[in-house]
């Protein structure tokens, strides 16, 4: 990993403390990133413990290769593939959502409006469309829907129209600087302390990586892989992610009755909500990128 782009793991000790209940168990780091959570988990596992990690990013896979520990393995897959693991194989599943600082800070990845680079934004650069490729063919309605749904941007329609007009006049946008400038010229009012392109960049990143759909799949798969008493720990960084996590835990933290069969036994609760944790003032001061993080903790109930 290029030392220029360092990553500070958010809620490091709190997450590992929450997920680790038995040092002899098998744990899953569903979003390896740059390995902060994985390394601390490994340091606290016994010789019998195991850690399985997932990540789509080739740079994350390269970083994982530096961990020389027989108890550790990593899969070059998104965390939606958790369901491929055996049932009830894990004592804990940890998900640290969003993107890492090295991804944001490396201009070649195209995630940030602060640097000029190719408009890519793919977590896995070996497959799928880049944002630039999608914008070259998407129509106004499609672009509007993505910016509105995933960016919660009230100027979504205006931005979409400007993108398509620019494409028709001079060809499609291909760099982050071009996109940031177009959005800045279209969004006439901006939130205090926030670049006008923030919501649009977020929307395109979430869409091109199918992040919310994958999160839903991964949460469902966590019920499959967790043993009774095992912990689900999820760190989210924006409201769209956190809402999905909150609703998932709430949905599975109550007995469900089938109204069509009122005398049938209810489907018993599968999770128990345990905690909601935010970074301390000290952590936010040391790492401002942690300020929006919310960590939710739940425990798998007996089947």
Where are the chain's structural domains? 12-101+211-300, 125-208
pLDDT for the residue 201: 94
Cα–Cα distance for residue pair 89/222, rounded to 1 Å = 10
pLDDT for the residue 177: 95
User: Is residue 58 a contact partner of residue 124, using CB atoms and an 8 Å limit?
Assistant: yes
Nearest CA to 51 among 79, 66, 34, 30?
Answer: 30
Cα–Cα distance for residue pair 131/168, rounded to 1 Å = 17
pLDDT for the residue 302: 82
The tokens describing 174, both together, are 């291909």
E strands present in 208-302:
226-236, 271-277, 294-300
Cα–Cα distance for residue pair 92/71, rounded to 1 Å = 15
pLDDT for the residue 268: 72
The tokens describing 125, both together, are 């650069």
pLDDT for the residue 147: 98
pLDDT for the residue 106: 82
Q: How many CA atoms lie within 13 A of 45 on its CB side?
A: 24
- SS3 (DSSP) at 303: coil
pLDDT for the residue 108: 80
Beta-strand relationship, 50-54 and 271-277: unpaired
Cα–Cα distance for residue pair 14/280, rounded to 1 Å = 10
Q: Which residues of the chain have pLDDT under 50?
A: 1-5
pLDDT for the residue 189: 76
With respect to CATH, is domain 125-208 assigned 1.10.150.170? yes
pLDDT for the residue 300: 97
Nearest CA to 253 among 236, 267, 239, 233?
Answer: 267
pLDDT for the residue 56: 93
pLDDT for the residue 93: 98
pLDDT for the residue 91: 98
pLDDT for the residue 261: 58
- SS3 (DSSP) at 17: helix
Q: Which CATH architecture has domain 12-101+211-300?
A: 3-Layer(aba) Sandwich (3.40)
Beta-strand relationship, 90-96 and 26-29: parallel
pLDDT for the residue 255: 61
pLDDT for the residue 194: 83
pLDDT for the residue 5: 47
């Amino acid at each position: 990993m290029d030392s220029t782009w360092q990553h500070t793991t958010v809620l490091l000790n709190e997450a590992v403390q929450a997920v680790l209940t038995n040092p002899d168990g098998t744990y899953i780091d569903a979003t390896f990133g740059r390995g902060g959570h994985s390394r601390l988990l490994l340091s606290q596992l016994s010789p019998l413990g195991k850690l399985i990690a997932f990540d789509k990013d080739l740079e994350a896979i390269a970083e994982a290769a530096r961990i020389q520990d027989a108890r550790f393995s990593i899969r070059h897959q998104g965390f939606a593939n958790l369901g491929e693991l055996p049932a009830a194989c894990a004592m804990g599943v940890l998900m640290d959502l969003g993107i890492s600082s090295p991804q944001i800070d490396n201009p070649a990845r195209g995630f940030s409006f602060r640097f000029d680079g190719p408009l890519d934004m793919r977590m896995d650069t070996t497959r799928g469309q880049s944002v630039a490729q999608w914008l070259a063919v998407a129509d106004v309605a499609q672009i509007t829907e993505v910016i509105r749904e995933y960016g919660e941007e009230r100027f979504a329609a205006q931005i979409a129209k400007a993108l398509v007009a620019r494409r028709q006049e001079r060809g499609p946008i291909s760099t982050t600087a071009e996109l940031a400038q177009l959005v800045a010229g279209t969004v006439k009012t901006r939130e205090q302390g926030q670049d006008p392109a923030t919501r649009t960049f977020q929307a395109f990143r979430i869409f091109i990586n199918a992040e919310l759909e994958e999160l839903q799949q991964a949460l469902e798969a966590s019920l499959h892989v967790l043993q009774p008493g095992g912990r689900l720990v999820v760190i989210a960084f924006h409201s769209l992610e956190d809402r999905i996590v909150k609703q998932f835990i709430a949905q599975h933290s109550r007995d469900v009755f089938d109204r069509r069969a009122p005398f049938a036994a209810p489907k018993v609760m599968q999770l128990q909500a345990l905690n909601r944790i935010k970074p301390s003032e000290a952590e936010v001061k040391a790492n401002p990128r942690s300020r929006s993080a919310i960590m939710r903790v739940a425990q798998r109930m007996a089947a």
